[in-house]
Structure 1
Amino acid sequence: MTLALDAFLVSTGIVALAEIGDKTQLLAFMLAARYRRAGPIVFGILVATIANHAFAGALGTWLTQVLGPDLLRWVLGLGFLAMAVWILIPDRLDAEDVQVKTGMGVFATTTIAFFLAEMGDKTQVATVALAAQYDAFVAVVAGTTLGMMIANVPAVFVGDRLAHRMPVRLVHAIAAVLFAVLGVVALAGAWDA
């Protein structure tokens, strides 16, 4: 496979898994229950994710230019290993985490709330690291965005019924293993071979 296809597929898979039970998925459940208008919510999630992950991907691409290859390998390797641990810590969404003003409309509320909730979140940090590792901005941002949509669109349509049936711990364990593998590969410099 080509590097761009690898970047797209890995980014999609790892973010889709990492997003299960994440605070932004919990936000999708909350917005769906509150507004019951799937179209504007899904479109708001898409717009917020593209904006947020494009910023994160640009940061990751910039890091490849600023850091030398050896330092980048260490930063990415240790970063992916840290993500493997972080993904095992359950997220929760408090009412204070999302201050939603009424009167803005469903789309605007969703877009703003999702963009802000995603700032500094696991999937945003993963996007930075994946963009730096693969140096494939478009493929990574497209993949992480698709991963977010794979996890969040069903949450909007099925809501809480899906949340209680999802084996969140198992999904997070799988994502943690994938992050750990990426960390080991980065530290070994295997993708440069």
Structure 2
Amino acid sequence: MEAFLVSTSTVALAEIGDKTQLLSLFLAARFRSPIPIIFGILVATLLNHGLSAWLGVWVTEFISPQTGRLLIGISFIAVALWILIPDKEDDASSNLNRYGAFISTVVLFFLAEIGDKTQIATVILAAQYQQLLLVTLGTTTGMMLANVPIVLFGHRLMQKLPLNAARYTASIVFMLLGIMTLLL
């Protein structure tokens, strides 16, 4: 259960102000149909984070526990520092209408998550906890907690959310996880 809770909370915090959150806002404004967008986010995240968690579990088969702990601790600290760099909104294709809200969301979210800090965090969390299902469900829940309100409430929520405070909090959480991993 710890793997699920830590995965949920760290990804939910890391996602605030992330480019996929900006993508959620863009898709909500573009399509104005929240249900297909929400399900698109869910499907894309389950696919992307499921593959990422599998990679995290798989890679630990080839390294010693000590090396794995060192790499995981350093990776958590690197993600903590990376979170401090704000994301910028990427340009989205102008031909989205022909694919509809669900397909556009699945494709754009899956692609936006490739190499993103929440995807890297999923790999790290799975490597640390060795719990493919719990980490995938946790990171997906964290993504949904951070993105569904954006889809539903959009601009009003983004104007009131202190993005820098959320970014610093997420960075501190990842830094603490990294330090704890290295010391324990």
Alignment TM class, shorter chain as reference: over 0.9
1:85 pairs, out of 81, 88, 111, with 81
| TM-score (norm. length: structure 2) | 0.97
For 2:3, give the aligned amino acid: A
| TM-score (norm. length: structure 1) | 0.93
> 2:13 corresponds to which residue?
17
> Does structure 2 conserve the Cα–Cα contact (< 8 Å) formed by 1:61 and 1:132?
yes
For 2:93, give the aligned amino acid: Q
Is 1:74 the counterpart of 2:45? The answer is: no
Deviations 1:86-142 (A, max 9, x none): 0111001131xx335331111001100000001100100000000000111111000
2: distance between equivalents of 1:70 and 1:101? 49
Q: 1:124-135 counterparts in 2 under 5 A?
A: 124-135=119-130
For 1:52, give the aligned amino acid: N
Is 1:168 the counterpart of 2:170? The answer is: no
1: distance between equivalents of 2:65 and 2:36? 43
Identity %: 51
CA RMSD of aligned residues (A): 0.9
2:146 pairs, out of 142, 148, 151, with 151
Segments of 4+ moved more than 3 angstroms: none
> 2:181 corresponds to which residue?
186
Aligned length: 183
> Does structure 2 conserve the Cα–Cα contact (< 8 Å) formed by 1:44 and 1:107?
yes
> Does structure 2 conserve the Cα–Cα contact (< 8 Å) formed by 1:101 and 1:109?
no
Is 1:32 the counterpart of 2:28? The answer is: yes
What secondary structure sits across from 2:87 in the alignment?
coil
2: distance between equivalents of 1:100 and 1:143? 33
> 1:7 corresponds to which residue?
3
> Does structure 2 conserve the Cα–Cα contact (< 8 Å) formed by 1:100 and 1:109?
no
> Any gaps of 5 or more consecutive residues in structure 2?
none
Is 1:111 the counterpart of 2:109? The answer is: no
Worse overlay, 99-108 or 162-171: 99-108
For 1:138, give the aligned amino acid: L
